[in-house]
């Protein structure tokens, strides 16, 4: 009996790991479709960001209530993993609570602590469900979440409830067995539930315990495989995303070296490299589709938690414009997943007549951005929606010459009058003359 369980367990574990590895491999490949960007400088600062932002959840604490609730779930997740490790070892080697013998009396304290976390997680998860579905907190109930994103968010919360409940019932059944056998007591929290099992035979209790054990671990393996399809992938990607955060000041826009050189060669033709037969292929200016973005933008897209903190602080969105930085991230991920499926089916990407600009993100959305960086500042996992917006705008202007008339006039003025308005460059220091005349 034990042996059969062991074998089934090992098979389930193997399948779960295989599927997970395959999907994450695809995601890795998709992210690498993006353009190169070197983000390896200053490792000390990068590790600090991992500690503060990912591990320490620094930015979450700008909004204390969701931060504390989220922290319960997060701490619960990290620490209960230790218990999962025990379950995995038990499952593979057919042992029963292997850590018990090494930890002795301390084991019950540890499990008690985990049980407290499990209860806190339950409290938090239920509060999250209420915030989403009953209170309808604005950023969590916007139309851009209709359909899968909304189901996804709720789904994860339900899975958490099931997992935590299984864990508690399992422990409680074990406690009940010990009480009946007179070999000990229940655990800290689940022990409170043991009276429920009074009068239940040890045989039945064993079955309950086993069912919950299996339910819990299979649930976890299913959860693991659901992650890469879900916004909940952030629990893994938040860490690399914090590490590879751009370290430059938020106000600084990425330089375009190729255009810098073009201008330089225009001014100094003698500096231009001799036109040999092989000219490097023209790289599109700005980004039209996901492959034109940097790999970091694509990692950003997979790391997005769809929390909407960016959108809630976006001045354009607050004043009713179509732009929503969260939607920019969701669109980028959706399009990238579509490109990924295209590659799965055709070995390499086959033109499908669609692009990130126009088909997913409209010109109207892009135009509304004031480059205020509120979205970047707000994001708890270090995502830069603005970086994608900037690159798409560059494509629109430089490749499609797609600009509102007023911007064409502005550019014309800058070119001809050295100022965005139609003033004579000779009047630039008129204020100084006036001031000198005054005093």
Partner 1 sequence: MQIKTMAEYAANGENPEVLFWVGCAGSFDQRAQRITKAFAQILDKVAVKFAILGKEEMCTGDPARRSGNEFLFQMMAYNNIQTLNGYGVKKIVTACPHCFNVLKNEYPNLGGQYDVIHHTTFLQQLINEGRVRLKDGGSFKGKKITYHDSCYLGRGNNIYEAPREVLQALDVELVEMKRCRTNGLCCGAGGAQMFKEEEPGTTRINFERAEEALHTGANIIAANCPFCTTMLMDGVKNKEKEDDVKVMDIAEMVAASLAD
For ligand SF4, the binding residues (CB under 6 A) are: 304-310, 314-316, 323, 325-326, 329, 369-375, 378-379, 381, 383, 385-386, 389
Residue 404 interacting entry, from ligand SF4, partner 1, none, C-beta within 5 to 8 Å by type: partner 1
Residues in contact with partner 1, shown as a per-residue x/- string from 319 to 338 under the rule CB under 8 A? xxxxx---------------
283 near partner 1, judged by CB under 8 A: no
- Torsions phi, psi of 136, nearest 5? 50, 55
- Residue 217 CB, nearest distance to ligand SF4 (Å)? 30
Q: Cα–Cα distance between 281 and 399 in angstroms, integer?
A: 15
Residue 16 interacting entry, from ligand SF4, partner 1, none, C-beta within 5 to 8 Å by type: none
Please, which of residues 410-429 interact with partner 1 by CB under 8 A? 410-411, 414-415, 418-421, 423, 425-429
Q: Cα–Cα distance between 227 and 229 in angstroms, integer?
A: 5
Rg (CA), the chain: 28
∠ CA 405-409-410, rounded to 5°: 115
Q: Which stretch binds partner 1 (CB under 8 A): 75-83, 212-220, 341-349, 369-377?
A: 369-377
Residue 305 interacting entry, from ligand SF4, partner 1, none, C-beta within 5 to 8 Å by type: ligand SF4
Q: Cα–Cα distance between 428 and 419 in angstroms, integer?
A: 9
Residue from 77, 239, 285, 295 touching partner 1 (CB under 8 A): that is 285
What is the 8-class DSSP label of residue 379?
A: -
436 near partner 1, judged by CB under 8 A: yes
38 near partner 1, judged by CB under 8 A: no
Residues in contact with partner 1, shown as a per-residue x/- string from 131 to 170 under the rule CB under 8 A? ----------------------------------------
Buried b (16+ CB within 10 A) or exposed e, 227-244: bbebbbbbbebbbbbbbb
| Closest among 339, 393, 387, 384 to 365, alpha carbons compared | 393
Question: 118, 170 in Cβ contact below 8 A?
Answer: no
Q: Cα–Cα distance between 106 and 112 in angstroms, integer?
A: 10
Which residue lies nearer to ligand SF4 by CB, 212 or 374?
Answer: 374
């Amino acid at each position: 009996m034990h042996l059969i369980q062991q074998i089934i367990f090992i098979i389930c574990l193997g399948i779960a790991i295989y599927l997970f590895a395959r999907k994450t491999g695809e995601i890795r490949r998709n992210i690498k479709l993006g353009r190169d960007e070197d983000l390896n400088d200053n490792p000390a600062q990068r590790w600090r960001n991992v500690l503060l932002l990912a591990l320490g959840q620094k930015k979450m604490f700008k909004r204390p209530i969701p931060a504390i609730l989220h922290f319960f779930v997060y701490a619960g997740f990290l620490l209960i993993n230790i218990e999962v490790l025990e379950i995995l070892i038990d499952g593979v080697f057919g042992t029963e609570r292997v850590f018990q013998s090494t930890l002795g009396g301390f084991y019950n304290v540890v499990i008690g602590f985990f049980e407290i976390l499990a209860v806190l997680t339950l409290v938090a998860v239920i509060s999250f469900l209420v915030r989403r579905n009953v209170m309808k907190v604005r950023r969590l109930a916007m139309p851009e979440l209709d359909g899968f994103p909304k189901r996804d968010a709720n789904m994860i919360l339900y899975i958490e409830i099931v997992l935590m409940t299984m864990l508690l019932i399992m422990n409680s059944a074990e406690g009940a067995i010990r009480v009946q056998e007179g070999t000990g007591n229940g655990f800290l929290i689940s022990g409170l539930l043991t009276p429920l099992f009074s009068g239940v035979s040890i045989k039945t209790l064993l079955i309950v315990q086993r069912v919950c054990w299996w339910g819990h671990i299979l649930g976890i393996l299913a959860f693991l495989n659901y992650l890469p399809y879900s916004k909940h992938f952030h629990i893994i990607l938040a860490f690399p995303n914090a590490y590879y955060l751009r370290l430059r000041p938020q106000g600084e826009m990425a330089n375009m070296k190729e255009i810098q050189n073009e201008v330089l060669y225009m001014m100094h033709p003698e500096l231009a490299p001799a036109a040999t037969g092989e000219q490097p292929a023209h790289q599109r200016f700005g980004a039209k589709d996901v492959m034109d973005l940097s790999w970091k933008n694509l990692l950003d897209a997979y790391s997005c938690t769809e929390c909407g903190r960016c959108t809630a602080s976006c001045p354009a969105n607050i004043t009713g414009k179509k732009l929503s930085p969260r939607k920019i991230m969701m669109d980028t991920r959706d399009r990238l997943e579509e490109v990924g499926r295209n590659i799965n089916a055709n070995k390499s990407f086959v033109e499908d007549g669609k692009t990130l600009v126009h088909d997913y993100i409209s010109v109207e959305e892009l135009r509304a951005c004031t480059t205020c960086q509120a979205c970047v500042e707000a994001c708890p996992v270090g995502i830069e929606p603005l970086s994608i917006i900037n690159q798409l705008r560059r494509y629109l202007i430089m490749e499609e010459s797609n600009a509102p008339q007023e911007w064409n006039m502005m550019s014309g003025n800058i070119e001809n009058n050295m100022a965005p308005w139609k003033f004579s460059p000779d009047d630039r220091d008129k204020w100084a003359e006036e001031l000198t005349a005054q005093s």
